[in-house]
Amino acid sequence: MDANEVRKKFLEFQVKKGHKIIQPAPLVLENDPTTLFTGSGMQPLLPYLLGKEHPEGTRLTDSQPSMRLQDIEDVGDPRHTTVFEMLGNWSLGDYFKEEQIRNFFEFLTKEVGLDPNKIYVSCFIGNEKYNIPKDTEAAEIWQKVFEEAGVEAKIAEIGSAANGDKRGIKPGERIFFYDDHENWWSRGGGCETTPIGDPCGPDSEVFYDFGEELQDEEKYGLAHPASDGARFMEIGNQVFMQYRRNDDGTFSELTKKNVDFGGGLERIAAAAIGSFDVFKISLMKPIIDKLEEISGKKYENNTDEMRVIADHIRGAYLLAAQGLAPSNKTQGYAMRRLLRRAILRALDLGISANFLSEIVPIVAENYKELPDSILTHRENALDVLLREENAFRKTLNKGLKELRKIAQQKNNRLSGDDLFKLQDTYGFPLELSIEECYREGIELTENYRSEFEGALKKQRERSQTASKGMFKGGLEDHGEQTVKYHTACHLLLAALQKLVNPNIIQKGSNITADRVRFDFNLDHKMTPEEISAVEKQVNEWIEADLPVVFDEYDKTYARDTLKAHGQFWDKYPEVLKVYTIGDFNNPISREVCGGPHVEHTGVLGKFKITKEESSSAGVRRIKAVLE
């Protein structure tokens, strides 16, 4: 059974059980600033789970394309993807645990054909602190369901996943009680962090066992359903919303209880073909086959590269087919990141020609069953993606020129710090730098990899504090767009100092969500050529997607060693914040500032100077916008 058949059978099965099919939401939700993308099947239905009546009634079902970029670094293993499809069904105050558990088990074993002996489940062990009892009701239902299928189903008291790693599974055990880190649902996570006023409750997860031979005890400990490793894979989660968190932090039972079920289409399809590798299902394998064909390499020897490409191009296609274009802003930036990572992995496979024209039509065919209501721009998707591919290849060529330039400056010998600068500042990846150095006879220092990792670690450590700053002077508020303009101010000052006069300092600023007004000392009206050059320089720094980080330093060190720009050294505290844009050892901008700022310049958009005028004697004023 392929993935499209699983989706079709699920929806038909739910209709037989009295559910109404609702249209999936787009990946980019309108009027929802809390998230970049639809990250789960229940996300668009949250208002109805919170009590609003749904026009289609109390029994609903759909298949919801979703995206979670927090998993992007994990893509390359057999089961993590950034793009996935959630099969969902909901009961809004209608049926509850017994009907839900029985229906899902029936779907898996009768409709999909999974062996019930390979199905394992988990339930909530309870929380004494908040007087929430163990979910024995769900466990007892599961025992009856397994017994009717002729499967022994003993109960195991596990608690934390760490306990399971030490304990493992005993003969006959099939139902496992875990704590609220594994089997409690709320918008805030566990019981302790459940938001006041929110519905919440225990959940029961369902796992598929791909075989004892996949256990890796040395790496993951003893296998159990919630353990890491390849043996067990979660294929569905049934959330029983039966509680509400009260104003005093306690929990009380809801009179109207809901069921929120979500099952991973890709994972159920993998179980249906008996493969723990989701990249072998019908939504992925044709992409892998084409990559093998055009690269001349085998999947088994290049799994990381091919998995990343298959996943990322799927995501980029779905976004393009919904009308999104790559950009340096929010969702467009995420889309650009997916595409560029895929293109780089294609280069790793030796695919140097435009390969999207080979891959995207396969992805489009795989998703022809998705409704036009969300894929409103299917016809234009390939053109959008090809333009981005061509643009990125030009960026890579620019990085190659910078590599050669740095090599000339460093006597044809590059360190790990140099390689990090090429990646961090110019977007030229480490492995490509190494390959080009080999091709062109450029030496690398003996410890270049550890030097690179050290520079990367320092940059990450600086980035971790980048969102902690508080700054009020000159800012109307701390909204996203205002923060972007604040960072643009730093770039503007740096460009003025570089191109107009190195002695320029800020004389005042006013920053709103709509524009920046920036005053600075200068004894003449800027020429059109100067204005154009400054604007161009700021945009080049934005396009370079430079990191923006801050840390706290001793005032003397910041002034004398770091050479940070500041105007009131005698008034500053002894410990102050310094923001750095670009390479830490050779920054574009380094200023004493309280923040806040964006974390990288690529999200700013296009910088446009709209006016240059006199503010007062010897002081000029620039007004600018981000487009």
Q: pLDDT tens for residues 16-32?
A: 999 999 988 888 876 55
Q: Which residue has the tokens 């892998």?
A: 288
What is the C-alpha separation between 438 and 233, in angstroms, rounded? 42
Q: Residue 235: its pLDDT value, please?
A: 97
Mapping DSSP to helix (H, G, I), strand (E, B) and coil, where does residue 241 land? strand
Residue type at 154 in one-letter notation? K
Q: Looking at the predicted structure, is the pLDDT value of residue 465 above 90?
A: no
What is the C-alpha separation between 280 and 266, in angstroms, rounded? 10
What is the C-alpha separation between 489 and 181, in angstroms, rounded? 43
User: Of the given ranges (129-133, 148-152, 430-434, 535-539), which has the lowest mean pLDDT?
Assistant: 430-434
pLDDT in tens, 369-400: 888 888 989 999 999 999 989 888 887 888 88
Q: Which residue has the tokens 């945009």?
A: 539
Pick from 229, 237, 233, 183: which is nearest to 205 by CA? Answer: 237
State percent of the chain over pLDDT 70.
Answer: 95
What element of type H or E holds 511? strand 506-511
3-class secondary structure for 373-395?
CCCCCHHHHHHHHHHHHHHHHHH
Pick from 587, 489, 478, 594: which is nearest to 534 by CA? Answer: 489
Q: ∠ at Cα 242 (236, 245), nearest 5°? A: 115
**Contact of 167 with 222, CB cutoff 8 Å:** yes
pLDDT in tens, 155-183: 999 999 999 999 999 999 999 999 999 99
Biggest CA pair distance of the chain: 91
Which residues, other chains included, contact 34 with Cβ-Cβ below 8 Å and sequence gap of 6+? Answer: none
State percent of the chain over pLDDT 90.
Answer: 60
Phi and psi dihedrals of 118, rounded to 5? -100, 5
Terminal Cα-to-Cα distance of the chain (whole angstroms): 48
Q: How many residues are listed for the chain in this entry?
A: 627
- Assessment of whether the complete model's pTM goes beyond 0.85: no
User: 555: which 2 tokens?
Assistant: 């005032």
Pick from 521, 517, 534: which is nearest to 482 by CA? Answer: 517
Mean pLDDT, range 545-559, rounded to an integer: 83
Q: Looking at the predicted structure, is the pLDDT value of residue 533 above 60?
A: yes
Q: Return residue ranges of the chain for CATH 3.30.980.10.
A: 480-626
Beta-sheet pairing, 232-245 with 251-264: antiparallel
Q: Return residue ranges of the chain for CATH 3.30.930.10.
A: 3-280
Mean pLDDT, range 474-503, rounded to an integer: 83
**Contact of 20 with 59, CB cutoff 8 Å:** yes
Q: Residue 34: its pLDDT value, please?
A: 57
What is the C-alpha separation between 464 and 98, in angstroms, rounded? 46
Which of the four pLDDT bands, split at 50, 70 and 90, describes residue 469? very low
Q: Peptide bond before 65: cis, by omega within 30 degrees of 0?
A: no
CATH architecture for the domain at 480-626 = 2-Layer Sandwich (3.30)
Q: Residue 476: its pLDDT value, please?
A: 45
Which residues, other chains included, contact 596 with Cβ-Cβ below 8 Å and sequence gap of 6+? Answer: 467, 469, 470, 471, 478, 483, 486
Q: Looking at the predicted structure, is the pLDDT value of residue 491 above 50?
A: yes
Q: What does the radius of gyration of the chain's CA atoms come to, in whole angstroms?
A: 28
Which residues, other chains included, contact 584 with Cβ-Cβ below 8 Å and sequence gap of 6+? Answer: 458, 459, 462, 549
Fold of 3-280: BirA Bifunctional Protein; domain 2 (3.30.930)
Task: Work out the mean pLDDT of the chain and round it to a whole number.
Answer: 89
User: Of the given ranges (202-206, 289-293, 471-475), which has the lowest mean pLDDT?
Assistant: 471-475
**Alpha-carbon distance values, 219 to 533, 550, 613 (Å):** 56, 37, 65
Q: Residue 470: its pLDDT value, please?
A: 28
User: What are residue 372's DSSP bridge partners?
Assistant: none
Cite the beta strand spans of 196-306 per DSSP E: 199-209, 232-245, 251-264
**Contact of 156 with 169, CB cutoff 8 Å:** yes
What is the C-alpha separation between 585 and 604, in angstroms, rounded? 23
Q: Residue 276: its pLDDT value, please?
A: 93
Pick from 82, 176, 162, 73: which is nearest to 123 by CA? Answer: 176
User: Of the given ranges (127-136, 413-422, 567-576), which has the lowest mean pLDDT?
Assistant: 567-576
Q: Looking at the predicted structure, is the pLDDT value of residue 119 above 70?
A: yes
What is the C-alpha separation between 436 and 467, in angstroms, rounded? 36
pLDDT in tens, 97-106: 999 999 999 9
Pick from 443, 376, 593: which is nearest to 506 by CA? Answer: 593
Which residue did the predictor score with more confidence, 325 or 137?
137
Mean pLDDT, range 29-43, rounded to an integer: 71
**Alpha-carbon distance values, 304 to 162, 288, 298, 310, 411 (Å):** 28, 11, 12, 10, 35
Cite the beta strand spans of 365-469 per DSSP E: 413-414, 443-444
Mean pLDDT, range 292-304, rounded to an integer: 96
